[in-house]
């Protein structure tokens, strides 16, 4: 059987980064920059007021005290957004709002709280030092400076910065576009009454959510029965607009394995089917369909999601340049003894108490027990050469929180 590490390598090599695109700011959040971003202008663009108050020459307020205010005429009113260029004459003031351009000749802003708030004349009750409450042009960003770096993830603050610089697009690594196909004639969409022998289809909902949680986009989530023609029709419809295809089901050793039947059980049509030394998730497949990468997962829900975590999630995130492609790997003390099949690397559902540095196996190891995975926050990672793990042992833990 193929090792987990080897299959991780094969999947990672298959999923490749898409060429960079220019994304509108509304679509760029959480993506990774494909190029440095250089400021086309300075911030602030012009000297502006940091306070609502009065623009003055600092020397004109030198004698001001609460008991003996300096009285100056108010010769202009400057709201934010005023575009004409003004000149402050000595011995006068301009009433000014926060963010408004400071008139030429003004060297300080007196906050309105230090005045009587007058509109024709103003009583100034404290001296304001030169430069006080003025935001100077370029003190935040200098034109030509590199403000964001290649590989940096776009955050709300980064979007605010580039918008303030007048940029409307960003060069980014685009999201991977993923097609998720569930297979099986027994599957019925939730909300439809079940017939004998039918079950509700859950893998597409679960895997599509995992794709989005990893940072990628979902193209579609169709379901195909155990019919090669129907499965092939789904591929023909969606594969061309996808960067990755994920299937679940149809890869085991029995009859009616539609994915194996569609691609040839000997892997002669671009998809190689292998057994990976792991539990759950031993039957796996990987390859290309008309040039599009495909990863075929087993159909049991726990096997499908654990396989996604182990093989696809880190490869997807790495291909998008996203930080921390791998789940945090921790060491914790096992609270109860567990067993593991010899020769298989076991990923067992668990509950991690990080504060106490303890981890507890959670639920049976079988791959159909989805309830336990839904409440787990970790996976025990037990090596393939370990059969018995006593309580109190230090074990490797994938932190899913």
pLDDT in tens, 35-54: 999 999 999 999 999 999 99
**Does pTM surpass 0.85?**
yes
Strands (E), 79-222: 93-96, 108-111, 121-124, 134-135, 146-148, 169-173, 177-183, 187-188, 199-200, 217-220
364 close to 340: Cβ distance less than 8 angstroms: no
Per-residue model confidence (pLDDT) at position 365: 86
42 close to 137: Cβ distance less than 8 angstroms: yes
Closest C-alpha to 246, from 276, 277, 215, 284: 284
Per-residue model confidence (pLDDT) at position 397: 98
Interatomic CA distance for residues 260 and 267, integer angstroms? 8
In the predicted model, what is the mean pLDDT of residues 203-227? 97
Per-residue model confidence (pLDDT) at position 275: 97
Residue 219: pLDDT over 90: yes
Per-residue model confidence (pLDDT) at position 128: 95
Per-residue model confidence (pLDDT) at position 266: 64
Interatomic CA distance for residues 100 and 135, integer angstroms? 10
Per-residue model confidence (pLDDT) at position 301: 95
Per-residue model confidence (pLDDT) at position 245: 98
Average pLDDT over all residues of the chain = 96
In the predicted model, what is the mean pLDDT of residues 220-231? 95
Residue 389 has φ and ψ, to the nearest 5°, of -120, 105
In the predicted model, what is the mean pLDDT of residues 88-98? 98
229 close to 213: Cβ distance less than 8 angstroms: no
Residue 267: pLDDT over 70: no
pLDDT band (50, 70, 90) for residue 265: low
301 close to 199: Cβ distance less than 8 angstroms: no
pLDDT band (50, 70, 90) for residue 264: confident
Cα angle 331-337-339, degrees, rounded to a multiple of 5: 95
Interatomic CA distance for residues 46 and 99, integer angstroms? 10
Per-residue model confidence (pLDDT) at position 47: 98
73 close to 81: Cβ distance less than 8 angstroms: no
Per-residue model confidence (pLDDT) at position 268: 60
The CA–CA distances, whole Å, from 343 to 9, 35, 73, 87, 384 equal 20, 45, 89, 83, 5
Residue 252: pLDDT over 90: no
Locate 180 and state its tokens.
């998720």
Does residue 114 sit in helix, strand or coil? helix
In the predicted model, what is the mean pLDDT of residues 146-174? 98
Residue 361: pLDDT over 90: yes
Residue 208: pLDDT over 90: yes
Per-residue model confidence (pLDDT) at position 253: 77
Q: How many CA atoms lie within 13 A of 390 on its CB side?
A: 2
255 close to 213: Cβ distance less than 8 angstroms: no
For the stretch 342-345, contacts whose Cβ atoms lie closer than 8 Å and that sit 24 or more positions apart, written own/partner, are 342/384, 342/385, 342/387, 343/1, 343/277, 343/384, 343/385, 344/277, 344/278, 344/279, 344/282, 344/384, 345/3, 345/4, 345/277, 345/278, 345/279, 345/381, 345/382, 345/383, 345/384
Which residues are CB-contacts of 83 (< 8 A; sequence separation ≥ 6)?
none
């Amino acid at each position: 059987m193929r090792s987990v590490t080897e299959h991780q390598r094969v999947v990672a090599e298959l999923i490749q980064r898409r060429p960079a695109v220019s994304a509108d700011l509304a679509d760029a959040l959480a993506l990774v920059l494909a190029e440095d971003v250089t400021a086309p202008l300075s911030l602030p663009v012009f000297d502006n007021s940091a306070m609502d108050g009065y623009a003055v020459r600092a020397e004109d307020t030198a004698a001001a005290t609460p008991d003996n205010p300096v009285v100056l005429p108010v010769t202009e009113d400057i709201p934010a957004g005023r575009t004409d260029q003004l000149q402050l004459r000595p011995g006068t003031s301009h009433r000014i709002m926060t963010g408004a351009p400071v008139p030429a000749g003004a060297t300080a802003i007196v906050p309105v709280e230090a005045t009587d708030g007058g509109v024709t004349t103003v009583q100034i009750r404290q001296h304001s030092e030169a430069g006080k409450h003025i935001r100077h042009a370029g003190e935040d960003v200098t034109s030509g400076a590199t403000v964001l770096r290649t590989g940096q993830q776009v955050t709300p603050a980064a979007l605010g910065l580039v918008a303030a610089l007048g940029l409307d697009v960003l060069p980014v690594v685009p999201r991977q576009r993923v097609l998720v196909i569930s297979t099986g004639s027994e599957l019925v969409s939730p909300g439809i009454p079940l017939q004998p022998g039918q079950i509700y289809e859950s893998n597409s909902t679960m895997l599509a959510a995992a794709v989005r949680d990893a940072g990628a986009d979902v193209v579609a989530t169709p379901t195909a029965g155990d019919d090669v023609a129907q499965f092939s029709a789904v591929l023909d419809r969606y594969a061309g607009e996808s960067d990755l295809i994920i299937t679940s089901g149809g890869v085991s050793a029995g009859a009616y394995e539609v994915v194996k039947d569609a691609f040839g059980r000997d892997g002669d049509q671009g998809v190689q089917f292998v057994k990976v030394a792991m539990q759950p998730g031993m039957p796996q497949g990987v390859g290309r369909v008309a040039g599009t990468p495909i990863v075929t997962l087993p159909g049991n829900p726990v096997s499908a999601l654990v396989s996604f975590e182990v093989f696809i999630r880190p490869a997807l995130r790495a291909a998008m340049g996203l930080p921390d492609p791998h789940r945090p790997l921790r060491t914790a003390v096992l609270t109860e003894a567990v067993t593991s099949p010899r020769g298989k690397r076991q990923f067992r559902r668990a509950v991690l108490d990080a504060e106490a540095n303890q981890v507890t196996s959670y639920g049976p190891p079988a791959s159909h027990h989805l309830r336990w995975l839904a409440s787990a926050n970790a996976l025990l990672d037990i090596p393939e050469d370990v059969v018995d793990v006593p309580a109190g042992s230090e074990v490797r833990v994938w932190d899913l929180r």
